[in-house]
Amino acid sequence: MKIIISVLVSLFLTTALWAQPPFAALQFSPEKPRQNQELSFDYNQAYSSLIRKSPIKVAVYQFTGSGLQVLEPRMEKKGDHYTAKISIDSNTNAIAFLFTSKEDKDINADKGYIIPVYNKSGQPVPEYYSTRSNIYAGWGESLLGLQNNSSKAFSFLNDAIQNNPELKENITVAGAYLNLLNREKKKEAEPVIIKFLQEAKGAAWQSEKGYALKNQWYSRLKMKEEADHLMAEMKEKFPDGDWKKNETLRAIATEKDKNKKIEQIENFAKDYPAFAKDKNVTSYLQTLLANGYAADKNWDAFFKAANKMAPAERASLYNNIAWNLAEKNESMQEAKKMAYDATTWAKNEMTKPSEEKPGSFTQDQWKKNRERNYAMYADSYAFILYQLGDYKAGLPYAKEAATINEFKDAELNERYALLAQKVLPAPVATKLIEGFIINDNATAKTKEALKELYTQQNKSDAGFDAYYEKLAAEAKIKRREEILKSQLDETAPKFALKDFDGNEVSLASLKGKVVIVDFWATWCGPCIASMPAMKKAQDKYKGNDNVKFVFIDTWETVEDKKKNAMEFMQNKGYDFHVLLDTEDKVVSEFGVTGIPTKFVIDGNGKIRFKSVGYSGNLDGLVDELDTMIEIASK
């Protein structure tokens, strides 16, 4: 009887884990959908958060082994019911539904509408578990609007593995589990991970992917002997495996001699003809070459290499190189040609796309992405034309770029303002720039342009400061209102990290202070752009023992992360208190999905505010932090 009870309990747990979650607003058939089947669904608006809203749209996300595919079926409306059918891909492991009405989303009380795809035995396919945990841990925020919850992700996947030990034999599931285990359990995780790896001996772990995952974790745990042994064994067992291609690509990327690099690329194409024909691989290799030629200013060779790239990758390369040249005011004619070509291509793609829609984009997202690309490239071209003194030609491009971004991007507004100042009548340009100031979307250079216009029209700058403060006051009121709406009340992860001197700094040691945590990286352009504002904000609170700024360096890929960050700070001349998140644990614990991200934590260890990205508005960021610190101090 005892054995029977045990079996029944186990069966109950497994059934509970696999049971289809009840959705009040969504019904579907079949109850256990499988790959290569048709799925019908019925969305009842009356039982949803979109009640009495119109129109209703749906995006159906299919998570597959080869990537994300999004479908937008046309739904038939009958009363409050919206129905449609989709075909399930042959490689799908999970399906998520997102119902929207204009800007409103139905995310099922932050649970989402997520369903598994089943196998012939009526059980979810193994990859469903890793997919669902990844949705909880991060994917759900960007795709569905769900709140990141890595603890929930780990609990879900850990329960799945405990009740279904065979999941340990799936490399995808095992990889997701080890990542979450390491993130959630921190120091407690190491012996558990080692035991997991030592026991992983099934057929899947004898594959190259199995060897690679084990090697990755032994390396991460600094178990060099085990990692080296596994690497040698993998190379012997799979002499022509993916590792060989990857090592060759890394060697090409790090080769500094241009002639040797060309030879290596030619040999790579001979050794891996099918792989080398992939347009992404071709573009990557040609980008490596082109960047080298650009550094040497060998423009003939540069354009020859670029012409072998796919159009989208070539346009991106042109934009990046052109912008860097324009900032240094070097090779401006070459920069102009690159920027013009990139902008022309992007404008054509915006109106008549030749590229296929990426499977992970909805039609609206694809359209907006093409518009944003055009705005970015047009802004670069406008900047180059400004540098060349061709203000009249540059103004329309700057205007289009700023307009596409609804005048909310301070950097793009800056280019528009500077060109408007040169081309438009002073009263017209003044009114335009006043709007940027009032709406809090202006940079320091935009302010300078307004000051020059003011001086020009008033024959003196007397009274400008009072005039500007009156405009900026409206922006401050709006900013404070938005900040108050964005208040949070979440317990901050209790981190403990070392600084450059090897001292451990923990959140517990800062109890009673308002702590500003800034996640950044040495390679992150927006992070670097925001640093003058962060320096100004930090200096403002020097001497205030109740406020502490810490800058957490994360997501670095270099070998010596400490040295890399120290050299960066020394070269830039910043005196920030940098903490090293060398294993990217703390950034994960905070649920960060993009940098720079700043958190304002009150004296009780509660996250009160979160700020993502940088608009380019130095004074705006300083004022924003001032307001957040003031509120968090109360």
Predicted confidence (pLDDT) per residue in 192-201, tens digit: 999 999 999 9
pLDDT of residue 235: 95
Indicate the DSSP class of residue 511: T
More confident residue, 426 or 558: 426
Please state the φ and ψ torsions of residue 507, each to the nearest 5 degrees.
Answer: -65, -35
**Residue-wise pLDDT tens digits, 381-408:** 999 999 999 999 999 999 999 999 999 9
DSSP states of 47-108 as a string?
GSTTTT-S--EEEEEEEETTEEEEE-PPPEEETTEEEEEEEPPTTEEEEEEEEEETTEEE-T
pLDDT at 11 over 60: no
Instruction: Kindly state the percentage of the chain with pLDDT values over 90.
Output: 76
For tokens 């400061």, what's the residue?
A: 465
pLDDT of residue 21: 53
| Arithmetic mean of pLDDT, 602-609 | 94
H helix runs in 577-634, sequence order: 585-589, 618-632
Please state the φ and ψ torsions of residue 588, each to the nearest 5 degrees.
Answer: -70, -40
Q: How far apart are CA 160 and CA 413, in angstroms?
A: 51
DSSP states of 138-189 as a string?
IIHHHHH-PPP-HHHHHHHHHHHHHH-GGGGG-HHHHHHHHHHHHHHHGGGH
Q: How far apart are CA 489 and CA 83, in angstroms?
A: 39
**Residue-wise pLDDT tens digits, 63-112:** 998 899 999 999 999 999 999 999 999 999 999 999 999 999 999 999 99
| Collapsed DSSP state (helix, strand, coil) of residue 541 | coil
Note if the bond before 596 is cis, omega within 30 degrees.
Answer: yes
CB atoms within 10 A of CB 195: 10
**Residue-wise pLDDT tens digits, 432-470:** 999 999 998 998 899 999 999 999 999 999 999 999 999
Tally of residues, the chain: 634
Instruction: Kindly state the percentage of the chain with pLDDT values over 70.
Output: 97
pLDDT of residue 133: 96
**Residue-wise pLDDT tens digits, 248-294:** 988 998 888 888 988 898 888 888 888 777 878 888 888 988 998 99
**Residue-wise pLDDT tens digits, 154-195:** 999 999 999 999 999 999 999 999 999 988 887 789 999 999
Domains and CATH numbers, the chain: 12-200 (2.60.40.10), 290-481 (1.25.40.10), 490-632 (3.40.30.10)
| Arithmetic mean of pLDDT, 408-437 | 96
H helix runs in 354-390, sequence order: 363-387
This prediction has a pTM of: 0.82
Q: What residues pair up with 43 in beta bridges, in sequence order?
A: 26, 82
pLDDT at 474 over 90: no
pLDDT at 597 over 50: yes
H helix runs in 277-406, sequence order: 279-296, 299-306, 311-328, 332-351, 363-387, 391-404
Mean pLDDT of the chain: 91
**Residue-wise pLDDT tens digits, 335-377:** 999 999 999 999 999 999 998 899 889 999 999 999 999 999 9
pLDDT of residue 477: 84
Q: How far apart are CA 398 and CA 602, in angstroms?
A: 41
Q: Nearest 5°: CA angle at 333, between 327 and 337?
A: 100
